[in-house]
């Protein structure tokens, strides 16, 4: 996995040259033959908290619009990674707690107390807890992915970037849409929205979604029955109210509720013990186990999974994962003349309850129960200058309060209980149940300011700063006791205390950190801009709430810091028929927070600081309209990301290892062709996309057997629609080649297996959409 993969570079350069060379010649011919517009559409973004063209802001940002989301049949935030090079979104759960990486910056911690290094925003509201971050994508305007530290204008913990989601807002013209999609695995998705203007000052928008699908994994049980897991069962509704009592004042209120009732993620077990030869502890999955999926090696209880990643055997029939999220927000925009005031008030309440078959086997090796919930309140105020002149200014303040309550229970080696019908507790042999209970409170407050100053007609300087104060407290206690026990008083069994907060060096943390951004942009012409920036981001420190049975788990981590240096170009050519952007970057990453599973008789969740890491890379995106109706796009990210000074608390030397979730190359190619009317007023829209992800590791140790070699995912869609697009009938296929690929993996070698998380197999279906009113 250390070899340099040149294929994406060859494909990227060849495609870029071909697009650039062909555009002007083909464009001229197309203009003579077709009167339809073939100019690239302006992409509006709010990367700097003001609406502006993506080409005019000195920030690397990728915008995925509603059309791309719809035509790709992308349903969750996890799907976005197939549209944005350098973005990784993965989860070991079915509907919660994603781990998000941008340009290799992120953290693999799946515990909800650690909010990650990528800020997640929905309609300018910061989502702190990861429990609510694996959300459904419905009735959206666009998704913006801001790359690099965004510690000036955005909320906490944006070391690597921001994922900013914008829903469709109410308007003062009636309109809406309804969509129905049916596909493989009994997929049935229903989505719709309607805008209802009451007057020229008051309007509502109501939208809803229901996504359901059978499981993609066939699971058998010891009693001879079977079931499907990795299903989808999600419903959500959103109500928005827009009030504009005067031309200077706009008030937007939103209520949203969503619930997922699917099963927990079903894993594939990769056995590591060859009972025929007695060999154990393999370091290379091409060794005596015969390679991934060879069905040769077994786990510690002798179970050997079959070779099919979409089938297996489990012990627990009932493994639900229920996630509920309720959001309320109020956004006020008030034009005060020389200033525009924006207030964003938000409330988020999330709850999750799940049972996980951790060992992915018919034996009771490791099973887990999770119950947690988060309640968050946030308030942001911004003043943006509206005057004419060389200087513009944004001033603001941000406050967030979050309380997270969690409970986790593990039952370990239950099948080794010598008295299966009675509770049994043996701490020496680790036949036990552990329970941990915790409450974490977070209070954070920040002041920020950013100014753009036109030094000349073409040269603009940007300077921004933010100062953050944060306090976190933790109440944590863990217990151990017998397997097969019946809990008393609802949740709490009578156990002997193994670990409590006295093992943590402190249960209260405080941080005061400055972050900043300085940039220069130079307009070479009206269509070409050069920019360079230096910025600092930080992610606050915290507690390892995964601590259960070993004092080494009861760790406190320091804040991580990242200095980023970036230079790039944004350009449009040939009368806006070709758009070409590129950037090169260097990250100096210190005290980065690292999560992993350490060796031990009980899987030990560790969270600690690695001293230094370094990320170098570049990326480009090219979009062309070589002829009317045809749009081609290619984007790629190259990363050289490694830990430069990294020794674990138990003395493991990982310096020079490749960073987690940092493939050397990631690439996305898209094509879309709209014929215009060919049968009366009916025409076709054909689209296809392919994403490439290079070799990557899922652990800091760079364990080959749980790494993922490079792979491609290709999707295609063909739609029939009239000239006014009032309706559309489409057929689609996703993962056309039925690629088998990992999205995550965990080393549980002490129990004789690895836990593998596979992406979806090939799916296909048909979709019917009807649009009415202003949205036709």
pLDDT in tens, 499-529: 555 567 788 999 999 999 999 999 999 999 9
Cα–Cα distance list, 737 to 78, 678, 716, 744 (Å): 20, 31, 11, 20
Which stretches of 653-712 are DSSP H helices? none
Give which of 645, 638, 636 is closest to 589, Cα–Cα. 645
Q: Rounded to whole angstroms, how far apart are CA atoms 468 and 451? A: 19
Q: For the chain, what is the radius of gyration of the CA atoms?
A: 26
**DSSP characters for 128-190?**
-SGGG-S-B--SEEEEEEEES--TTTS-S--SSEEEEEEEPPP-SS-EEEEEEEEETTTEEEE
Give which of 627, 670, 672, 671 is closest to 24, Cα–Cα. 627
Predicted confidence (pLDDT) at residue 117 exceeds the cutoff of 70: yes
Report the pLDDT value the prediction gives residue 500, as an integer from 0 to 100. Answer: 55
Report the pLDDT value the prediction gives residue 501, as an integer from 0 to 100. Answer: 53
Q: Rounded to whole angstroms, how far apart are CA atoms 13 and 17? A: 6
Predicted confidence (pLDDT) at residue 37 exceeds the cutoff of 80: no
At residue 1 the predicted structure's pLDDT band, cuts being 50, 70 and 90, is very low
Return the HEC string of 392-418: EEEEEEEEEEEEEEEEEEEEECHHHCC
Q: What is the mean pLDDT of residues 445-465?
A: 96
Q: Rounded to whole angstroms, how far apart are CA atoms 759 and 85? A: 17
Predicted confidence (pLDDT) at residue 30 exceeds the cutoff of 50: no
At residue 132 the predicted structure's pLDDT band, cuts being 50, 70 and 90, is confident
Report the pLDDT value the prediction gives residue 721, as an integer from 0 to 100. Answer: 95
**DSSP characters for 507-554?**
SEEEEEEEEEEEEEEEEEETTEEEEEEEEEEEE--EE-TT--S-GGG-
Q: What is the mean pLDDT of residues 749-755?
A: 88
Among the ranges given (31-40, 120-129, 627-636), the one the predictor scored with the smallest mean pLDDT: 31-40
Q: What is the mean pLDDT of residues 60-80?
A: 85
Q: What is the mean pLDDT of residues 56-62?
A: 91
Total residue length of the chain: 776
Cα distance between the two ends of the chain: 49
| CA 70 distance to own-chain centroid | 18
Give which of 139, 141, 259 is closest to 191, Cα–Cα. 139
Among the ranges given (9-13, 305-309, 580-584, 612-616), the one the predictor scored with the smallest mean pLDDT: 9-13
Predicted confidence (pLDDT) at residue 744 exceeds the cutoff of 70: yes
**DSSP characters for 475-496?**
EEEEEEE-BTPPPSTTT----E
Q: Which of 58-67, 89-98, 236-245, 281-290 has the highest mean pLDDT?
A: 236-245
Per 3-state DSSP, the chain is made up of helix, strand and coil in percentages (nearest 5) of: 10, 55, 35
Q: List CB contacts of 276: < 8 A, sequence separation 6 or more.
A: none
Domain positions in the chain are 7-773
Q: Which of 15-29, 383-397, 428-442 has the highest mean pLDDT?
A: 383-397
428 touches 475 (CB < 8 A): no
Q: Rounded to whole angstroms, how far apart are CA atoms 432 and 736? A: 45
| 460: its two tokens | 């603009």
At residue 25 the predicted structure's pLDDT band, cuts being 50, 70 and 90, is very low
| 363: its two tokens | 């034996």
Side-chain-side CA neighbours of 390 within 13 Å: the count stands at 9
Q: What is the mean pLDDT of residues 442-450?
A: 97
Predicted confidence (pLDDT) at residue 230 exceeds the cutoff of 90: yes
At residue 490 the predicted structure's pLDDT band, cuts being 50, 70 and 90, is very low
Q: Rounded to whole angstroms, how far apart are CA atoms 730 and 79? A: 20
Q: How many CB atoms lie within 10 A of CB 389?
A: 8
At residue 26 the predicted structure's pLDDT band, cuts being 50, 70 and 90, is very low
Among the ranges given (548-557, 698-707, 710-719, 750-759), the one the predictor scored with the smallest mean pLDDT: 548-557
Report the pLDDT value the prediction gives residue 9, as an integer from 0 to 100. Answer: 43
**Higher per-residue pLDDT: 360 or 597:** 360
Q: Rounded to whole angstroms, how far apart are CA atoms 388 and 498? A: 65
Q: Is 11 helix (H, G, I), strand (E, B) or coil?
A: helix
At residue 126 the predicted structure's pLDDT band, cuts being 50, 70 and 90, is very high
Report the pLDDT value the prediction gives residue 595, as an integer from 0 to 100. Answer: 85
Q: List CB contacts of 335: < 8 A, sequence separation 6 or more.
A: 247, 248, 249, 386
pLDDT tens sequence across 295-351: 888 998 899 999 899 999 999 999 999 999 999 999 999 999 999 999 999 999 999
At residue 14 the predicted structure's pLDDT band, cuts being 50, 70 and 90, is very low
Q: What is the mean pLDDT of residues 465-493?
A: 78
85 touches 60 (CB < 8 A): no
Report the pLDDT value the prediction gives residue 538, as an integer from 0 to 100. Answer: 93
At residue 289 the predicted structure's pLDDT band, cuts being 50, 70 and 90, is confident
Task: Tell me which architecture the domain covering 7-773 has in CATH.
Answer: Beta Barrel (2.40)
Q: Rounded to whole angstroms, how far apart are CA atoms 39 and 323? A: 44
Structure letter (DSSP) for residue 304? -
* Residue 60 phi, psi (nearest 5): -80, 115
Q: What is the mean pLDDT of residues 191-196?
A: 97
Give which of 207, 326, 204, 195 is closest to 256, Cα–Cα. 326
Question: Where do we find the tokens 């203009």?
Answer: 31
Q: Rounded to whole angstroms, how far apart are CA atoms 662 and 655? A: 15
Q: What is the mean pLDDT of residues 561-570?
A: 97
Predicted confidence (pLDDT) at residue 597 exceeds the cutoff of 70: no
The helix/strand count (H/E) of the chain reads as 2, 40
Cα–Cα distance list, 270 to 274, 315, 401, 730 (Å): 12, 16, 42, 39
Among the ranges given (37-46, 139-148, 292-301), the one the predictor scored with the smallest mean pLDDT: 37-46
Structure letter (DSSP) for residue 10? H
Mean pLDDT over each residue of the chain, to the nearest integer: 88
pLDDT tens sequence across 677-692: 999 999 999 999 999 9
672 touches 707 (CB < 8 A): no
Q: Rounded to whole angstroms, how far apart are CA atoms 753 and 437? A: 28
Structure letter (DSSP) for residue 750? G
739 touches 711 (CB < 8 A): yes
Give which of 142, 140, 205, 207 is closest to 178, Cα–Cα. 207
Report the pLDDT value the prediction gives residue 6, as an integer from 0 to 100. Answer: 45
pTM as predicted: 0.92
Q: Rounded to whole angstroms, how far apart are CA atoms 719 and 733? A: 12
Predicted confidence (pLDDT) at residue 605 exceeds the cutoff of 80: no
Q: List CB contacts of 173: < 8 A, sequence separation 6 or more.
A: 195, 197, 773, 774
Predicted confidence (pLDDT) at residue 409 exceeds the cutoff of 90: no
Report the pLDDT value the prediction gives residue 179, as an integer from 0 to 100. Answer: 97
Which stretches of 216-273 are DSSP H helices? none
């Amino acid at each position: 996995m250390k070899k340099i993969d040149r294929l994406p570079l060859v494909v990227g350069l060849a495609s870029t040259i071909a697009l650039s060379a062909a555009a002007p010649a083909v464009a001229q011919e197309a203009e003579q033959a077709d009167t339809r517009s073939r100019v690239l559409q302006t992409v509006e973004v709010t990367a700097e908290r003001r609406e502006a063209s993506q080409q005019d802001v000195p920030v690397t940002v990728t915008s995925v619009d509603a059309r791309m989301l719809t035509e790709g049949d992308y349903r969750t935030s996890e799907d976005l990674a197939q549209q944005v090079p350098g973005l990784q979104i993965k989860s070991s759960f079915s509907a919660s707690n994603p781990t998000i990486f941008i340009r290799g910056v992120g953290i693999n911690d799946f515990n909800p107390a650690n909010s990650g290094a990528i800020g997640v925003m929905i309609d300018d509201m910061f989502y702190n807890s990861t429990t609510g971050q694996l959300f459904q994508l419905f009735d959206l305007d666009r998704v913006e992915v801001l790359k690099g530290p965004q510690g000036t204008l955005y909320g906490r913990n944006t070391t690597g970037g921001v994922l900013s989601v914008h829903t469709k807002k109410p308007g003062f013209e009636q309109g809406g849409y309804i969509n129905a999609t049916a596909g493989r695995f009994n997929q049935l998705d229903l989505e719709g929205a309607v805008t209802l203007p009451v007057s020229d000052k008051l309007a509502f928008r109501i939208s809803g979604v229901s996504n359901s699908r059978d499981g993609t994994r066939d699971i058998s049980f010891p009693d001879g029955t079977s079931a499907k897991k990795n299903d989808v069962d999600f419903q959500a509704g959103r109500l928005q109210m827009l009030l504009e009592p005067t031309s200077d004042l706009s008030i937007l209120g939103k209520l949203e509720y969503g619930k997922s009732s699917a099963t927990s993620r079903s894993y594939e077990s990769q056995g590591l013990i060859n009972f025929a030869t007695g060999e154990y502890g393999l370091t290379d999955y091409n060794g005596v186990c015969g390679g991934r999926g060879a069905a040769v090696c077994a786990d510690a209880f002798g179970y050997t999974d079959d070779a099919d990643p979409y089938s297996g055997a489990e012990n627990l029939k009932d493994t639900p994962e229920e996630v509920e999220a309720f959001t309320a927000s109020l956004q006020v925009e008030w034009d005060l003349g020389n200033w525009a005031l924006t207030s964003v008030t938000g409330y988020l309440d999330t709850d999750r309850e799940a049972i996980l078959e951790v060992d992915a086997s018919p034996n009771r090796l490791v099973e887990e129960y999770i119950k947690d919930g988060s309640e968050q309140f946030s308030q942001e105020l911004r003043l943006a200058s509206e005057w004419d002149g060389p200087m513009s200014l944004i001033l603001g303040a941000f406050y967030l309060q979050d309380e997270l309550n969690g409970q986790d229970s593990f039952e370990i080696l239950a099948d080794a209980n010598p008295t299966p019908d009675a509770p049994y507790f043996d701490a020496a042999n680790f036949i036990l149940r552990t329970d941990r209970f915790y409450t974490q409170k977070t209070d954070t407050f920040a002041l920020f300011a950013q100014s753009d100053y036109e030094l000349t007609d073409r040269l603009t300087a940007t300077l921004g700063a933010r100062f953050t104060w944060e306090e976190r407290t933790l109440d944590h206690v863990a217990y151990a006791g017998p397997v097969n026990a019946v809990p008393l008083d609802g949740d709490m069994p009578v156990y002997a205390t193994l670990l409590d907060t006295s093992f943590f060096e402190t249960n209260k943390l405080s941080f005061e950190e400055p972050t900043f951004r300085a940039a220069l942009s130079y307009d070479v012409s009206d269509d070409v801009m050069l920019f360079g920036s230096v910025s600092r981001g930080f992610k606050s420190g915290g507690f390892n709430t995964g601590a259960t049975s070993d004092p080494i788990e009861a760790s406190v981590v320091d804040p991580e810091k990242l200095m980023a240096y970036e230079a790039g170009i944004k350009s449009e050519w040939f009368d806006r028929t070709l758009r070409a952007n590129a950037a090169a970057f260097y990250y100096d990453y210190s005290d980065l927070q690292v999560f992993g599973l350490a060796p031990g008789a009980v899987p030990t969740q560790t969270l600690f600081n690695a001293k230094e890491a370094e990320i170098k890379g570049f990326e480009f995106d090219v979009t062309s309209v070589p002829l009317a109706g045809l749009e081609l796009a290619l984007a790629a990210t190259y990363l050289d990301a490694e830990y430069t000074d990294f020794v674990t608390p138990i003395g493991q030397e990982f310096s020079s290892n490749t960073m987690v979730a940092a493939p050397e190359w990631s690439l996305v190619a898209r094509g879309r062709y709209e014929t215009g009317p060919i049968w009366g007023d009916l025409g076709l829209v054909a689209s296809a996309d392919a994403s490439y992800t290079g070799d990557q590791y899922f652990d800091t140790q760079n364990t080959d057997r749980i790494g993922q070699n490079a792979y491609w995912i290709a999707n295609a869609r063909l739609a029939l629609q009239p000239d006014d697009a009032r309706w559309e009938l489409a057929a689609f296929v996703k993962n056309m080649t039925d690629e088998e690929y990992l999205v995550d993996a965990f080393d549980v070698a002490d129990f004789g297996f690895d836990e593998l998380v596979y992406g979806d197999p090939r799916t296909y279906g048909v979709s019917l959409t009807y649009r009415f009113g202003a949205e036709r």
